[in-house]
Structure 1
Amino acid sequence: MSKLSPADLDRYIFSRTGAENDGLLVGAGYGEDAAAIETDDGTMVVTADPISLAAERIGTLGVAIASNDVAACGGVPKWLVSTILLPEPDVDVLDDITAQLDAEAERLGISIVGGHTETVAGLSRPLLSLTCMGPTDRYVPTSGAEPGDAVILTKGAGIEGTAVLATDFRDELEAAGVDTERIDSAVGFFDDISVLPESAVFAPVATAMHDPTEGGVLNGLVELACASEVRIDVEREAVPVRPETVALCEAMGVDPLRILGSGALLAAVPADEVDSVLAALDAEGIDATVVGTVDAPADEDDCGVRYDGTHYTGGVRDDMYDLWE
């Protein structure tokens, strides 16, 4: 499993968007996880996201990931439409999933307003597809980063991936000698998946925001840089990684910067706003670090991310995919 290349997205997705509509402010584009639609009452942010892995907490993660995309555009997630596809008519599995959806939506103040549920032959695990919507006073795109901006990362790399490793691969971690208390602590990372609090801090000043998901923080940086047509320089030691993430990733042979990254938020912020933003995040109890700088590219081939001696200009495959194969 991996994301399509930018070229394939342009050819098969972004060039085939149906009828034009005057109300569309921001539509489909590389790195843009949500659309902006003009309404009589302001701007509405709309996004859709699937999730099929992370079997233990698929409903909890589904709500958090979909609402994160709205929040990362400066929106306030309000409404959710949920499609649940099951490999077989198992009411116990359905009970678990819908209980998780309900609890997380309630916690985040989101109403589940509709959807669809059915069984589908050929599926090996449940599949969710969630559409989330919410209003914004200031839409913040992925594509708005400007030379001179600082890139700030909240919390750390691999938050979601660490929690999923701790649940879906607990037996393997214990066999590899990872301490039980450390695994239990990592399970608690599920409580950190939402980025709604930090999005609200960034929204008034950020030039760009993006929540890293598949491919981790590294892929999130690449998507932000390429969407903005800039170069971002990042030093490996600048990216915060929690001790639990280090331990679990070492045991499973994956890179913390290349695993499911929900829970972190990337934001490009003008240099003169950095200190006040970091202070505001600290006041909210949110860890945040400047991990890179935005520069003008020397040419179109220079767009992307310079990280750990390599220049990344396309999608980064998530290291965790191989663990499920």
Structure 2
Amino acid sequence: MVGKLDPDDLAAFVLSRTGAPDDDVEMGPAYGEDAAAIRFGDRLLVASSDPLSLARERLGTLAVNVACNDVAACGADPRWLTNVVFLPDDDPETLDVLTDQIDAEARELGVSIVGGHSEYVPALDRPMVSMTALGAADAYVPTGGVDPGDRVLLTKGAGIEGTAILATDFREATGADATTLRRAEGFFEEISVVPEAAALRGTATAMHDPTEGGLLAGAVEMATASGVRIDVDRDAVPVREETAALCATMDVDPLRIFGSGALLAAVPEEAVDDALAALDDAGVAASEIGVARETDAPGVDLDGERVGSVRDDLYDLWE
């Protein structure tokens, strides 16, 4: 099976085994949380690690952004990266493309690559990158900070990353015209959520970067970590024309495919207008897509129907 660990296995075998306690750890491993936060003087050091292997054509681009997005979604400014690169064979051309993408994206974000490791692993059938991003913050913004009554905002749209992957890894299978594919591939240039996270971190009670499983998986993690029910209105979720077209031809749900490029944020009802104005000033489109409710059964209701565990729809296309 491809995908994240079952929450029960995660709790039993990972989150219960976190080594020696440390009073300087403000946020350690927890379900749904994007990053750790460690007190460092009068500030916080925020760190997040993410592996990627499936998006072949822009693996380096995505690896940098996914790690930096997690740090940004927790209220920090991404500043440093370490990366581990595993290659299935001695292939300098693949290494050249991959590291060129990593370098270019890090420069675009103003982030320094400070270390890592590279090696050949013949047991792999595709390259794998594991990236760790670090940055400094004045305050940690959790995934699990949503309060009942908060409004849930989504920036840009659902399935931004997944759309770009469909346009590249599955280009021929989509049967889409060249113009649609070119526009959809251009979504790779919008994967960063650093600008919108910076605009919202003073207002949001919680932020989360929806990646694997898309918007719905991200919302489930946010709701569960917060102990609330989030009611999501599908019609309120922005879905771009290119996303709708490619998802329709490949029979996948835009709300259930890789969602990097969008940011989920919960804000108090009275702060919605200010939050949307701040995003507009940052040049980022956003929509209110739902509301948090008090509940004894945390999770997500989509148009009144409970959403269970979410497996990314793209996995079936790779298998």
Give the TM-score normalised by the residue count of structure 2.
0.98
Q: 2:131 — aligned with what?
A: 130
Amino acid at match of 2:316: D
Alignment check: 8 A CA contact 2:200 2:278 kept: no
> In the aligned structure 1, how far is the partner of 2:307 from the partner of 2:248?
23
* Structure 1 counterpart of 2:318, from 313, 320, 324: 324
Q: 2:118 — aligned with what?
A: 117
SS in 2 for 1:55: coil
> In the aligned structure 2, how far is the partner of 1:184 from the partner of 1:225?
35
- CA deviation after TM superposition for structure 1 residue 41, in Å: 4.2
* Structure 1 counterpart of 2:276, from 272, 275, 278: 278
SS in 1 for 2:125: coil
> In the aligned structure 1, how far is the partner of 2:272 from the partner of 2:37?
26
Q: 1:33 — aligned with what?
A: 34
Q: 1:46 — aligned with what?
A: 47
Alignment check: 8 A CA contact 2:184 2:243 kept: yes
Residue deviations 1:27-82 (CA, integer Å, cap 9, x gap): 10110020000012410100000000110000000000000000000000000000
SS in 2 for 1:3: coil
Listed as ranges, the gaps of 5+ residues in structure 2 are none
Q: 1:312 — aligned with what?
A: 307
Amino acid at match of 2:310: V
Q: 1:220 — aligned with what?
A: 218
* Structure 2 counterpart of 1:232, from 230, 238, 241: 230
Aligned: 1:197 with 2:175? no
- CA deviation after TM superposition for structure 1 residue 310, in Å: 2.3
Q: 1:303 — aligned with what?
A: 298
Amino acid at match of 1:204: G
Give the TM-score normalised by the residue count of structure 1.
0.96
> In the aligned structure 2, how far is the partner of 1:27 from the partner of 1:123?
31
> In the aligned structure 2, how far is the partner of 1:75 from the partner of 1:281?
17
Amino acid at match of 2:81: L
> In the aligned structure 1, how far is the partner of 2:142 from the partner of 2:312?
23
SS in 1 for 2:58: helix
> In the aligned structure 2, how far is the partner of 1:192 from the partner of 1:39?
32
Count, aligned residues: 318
> In the aligned structure 1, how far is the partner of 2:254 from the partner of 2:303?
14
> In the aligned structure 2, how far is the partner of 1:321 from the partner of 1:49?
17
Aligned: 1:161 with 2:192? no
Structure 1 outlier segments of 4+, above 2 Å: none
> In the aligned structure 1, how far is the partner of 2:305 from the partner of 2:312?
17
Identity %: 58
> In the aligned structure 2, how far is the partner of 1:119 from the partner of 1:3?
25
Amino acid at match of 2:34: D
> In the aligned structure 1, how far is the partner of 2:307 from the partner of 2:38?
32
SS in 1 for 2:4: coil
> In the aligned structure 2, how far is the partner of 1:19 from the partner of 1:167?
44
> In the aligned structure 2, how far is the partner of 1:250 from the partner of 1:308?
20
The CA RMSD measured in Å over matched residues stands at 0.8
- CA deviation after TM superposition for structure 1 residue 260, in Å: 0.4
1:54-65 alignment runs, 5 A limit: 54-65=55-66
Amino acid at match of 1:122: A
Residue deviations 1:265-289 (CA, integer Å, cap 9, x gap): 0000011110011011112221100
* Structure 1 counterpart of 2:290, from 272, 292, 301: 292
Listed as ranges, the gaps of 5+ residues in structure 1 are none
SS in 1 for 2:77: coil
Q: 1:99 — aligned with what?
A: 100
